[in-house]
Amino acid sequence: MLSDEDVRALRRDALEIRVLTIDMIGHLGKGHIGGSLSIIEILTLLYRTVMKVNPSDPNWPERDRFVLSKGHAGPALYAALAYHGYFPVEWLHTLNEGGTQLPSHADMTRTPGIDMTAGSLGQGLSAAVGIALANQIDGKERKTYCIIGDGESNEGQIWEAGMSASQFHLKDLIAFTDYNKMQLDGWMTDVMNVEDLNAKWLAFGWFVQRVDGHDFRQLDFAIERARKEQCRPSMIIMDTVKGKGLPMAENNPANHSMSYGSTEASQVISRLRAREARLEEVENG
Ligand SMILES: Cc1ncc(C[n+]2csc(CCOP(=O)(O)OP(=O)(O)O)c2C)c(N)n1
């Protein structure tokens, strides 16, 4: 269980990772900001306390594995990896430039710490199933974590992976749905509704939990329970806000890929820092 101090430390990490993400895309001038900002808290928690990884040896064979199936949110993952020392923070300003190690979509052949290439939606969960199955066959306790999108869940392959994972009793597979209720060109309910997600994953034989995806305590508790599961894969459905922390993006159906520059980024970052400082002041009395 997380202490108040743990939560404060996680919040500070999340602020830095969110700041790096906003700054990186502002520096480039355009990018997948919406779906990056909705997964900052889960990435923060995974890389700070949950996953068994070693940033100075990204290919350590015994590490837990992570697949960002919604690979267009690469910038959020790059920010988390850079923050944890997988590569220099300066690389972030090369996002999507010619010859970069950080292409817009996650690429395992380019970036230290990326376990699976993704971007063609629907495929990452199948890769995660394969990785978890291989670990199970090898008798390894290594966990496989995977984040999928709600829009991505319109892909039939997601559900094929879902069936396979329960068929093979992949208890060490823990997946998250980033349920921000939006996809590329609008609200899920207008484009292709995926409700009832809880009932669907349950019907596919998974252990299903539903949490606020920006609340560290709820996320941590759900992961703890998922890790204790003895025979089923886990799906943690995270209610999130697409564009969380960037006022022009939150609740804006056009927030999938947005254009803004360094000046706007700096203004938002100052406001985010001021808000966190006020919060800490209140907490410290
Ligand atoms: C197979 C495939 N079809 C279409 C796309 C184009 N595309 C990129 S992101 C996206 C929307 C994804 O929505 P979601 O998974 O909810 O991501 P989020 O809204 O969280 O960014 C689409 C349709 C793609 N990358 N791959």
pLDDT tens column, 194-205: 999 999 999 999
Residue nearest to atom 10 of ligand 1 (CA): 184
| Residue 35 alpha carbon, nearest atom of ligand 1 | 21
Q: For ligand 1, is residue 125 a contact (CB within 6 Å)?
A: no
Residue range 63-97, pLDDT digits in tens: 999 999 999 999 999 999 999 999 999 999 999 99
Instruction: Return d(Cα 228, Cα 178) in angstroms, integer.
Output: 22
Contact criterion met (CB below 8 Å) for 92 and 104: no
Q: What pTM, to 2 d.p., does this model score?
A: 0.98
Instruction: Return d(Cα 154, Cα 214) in angstroms, integer.
Output: 23
Packed helices 4-28 and 74-83: angle between N→C axes, nearest 10 degrees: 120
Sign of CA pseudo-dihedral 1, 70, 171, 64: negative
Average pLDDT, the chain: 97
- Ligand 1 centroid to residue 186 C-alpha, Å: 11
Mean pLDDT of 123-135: 98
pLDDT at 251: 87
Q: pLDDT-derived band of residue 272, with 50, 70 and 90 as boundaries?
A: very high
Where do we find the tokens 């966190």? 276
Instruction: Return d(Cα 216, Cα 211) in angstroms, integer.
Output: 10
Q: For ligand 1, is residue 258 a contact (CB within 6 Å)?
A: no
- Ligand 1 centroid to residue 182 C-alpha, Å: 10
Domain boundaries, the chain: 4-192+208-283
Instruction: Return d(Cα 126, Cα 8) in angstroms, integer.
Output: 35
pLDDT at 130: 98
| Residue 123 alpha carbon, nearest atom of ligand 1 | 1
**Residue 185 burial by CB count (10 A; 0-12/13-18/19+): exposed, middle or buried?**
exposed
- Ligand 1 centroid to residue 118 C-alpha, Å: 11
Q: pLDDT-derived band of residue 181, with 50, 70 and 90 as boundaries?
A: very high
Which string of b and e fits 229-261 if b means at least 16 CB within 10 Å?
beebbbbbbbbbbbbbbbeebeeebebbebebe
Which residue among 180, 184, 239, 257 is best mutated to probe the pocket of ligand 1, counting the most ligand atoms within 8 A of its Cβ?
184
Contact criterion met (CB below 8 Å) for 199 and 159: no
**Fold type of domain 4-192+208-283:** Rossmann fold (3.40.50)
Q: For ligand 1, is residue 242 a contact (CB within 6 Å)?
A: yes
Q: For ligand 1, is residue 35 a contact (CB within 6 Å)?
A: yes
